Amino acid sequence: MDNPYQQKQAQLLQRIVSNTVKCNEAISLVNEVMQNIVAANAEAEAAAEIFAYYREVVHRSIPTAEASMNSEKPSA
């Protein structure tokens, strides 16, 4: 006759293994989604850096452009 405790322990271990497999699958899915998010954020960050650079260049160019425009106006 089988030991009832051993049978119960085997059932519990099977449940633990099954839940661990499900947990690993969920974690793998979360990791995949996180990788996609990181990739998308990298693209957005690159675009933001480009626009920040252009903004800086424009702000530096405005005084030069204004001075150039003022010097080209005919005196009245």
What is the structure's pLDDT at 76? 52
Instruction: Write down how long the chain is.
Output: 76
Checking if the pLDDT of 8 tops 90, the result is yes
What is the structure's pLDDT at 16? 98
| Whole-number Å distance between alpha carbons of 17 and 15 | 5
| Whole-number Å distance between alpha carbons of 72 and 66 | 10
| Whole-number Å distance between alpha carbons of 57 and 49 | 12
pLDDT (tens digit, 9 = 90+) per residue, 16-75? 999 999 999 999 999 999 999 999 999 999 999 999 999 998 888 887 777 777 776 665
What is the structure's pLDDT at 61? 82
Whether the model pTM is above 0.85: no
Cα dihedral sign, 29-31-37-40:
negative
| Whole-number Å distance between alpha carbons of 52 and 43 | 14
What is the structure's pLDDT at 71? 73
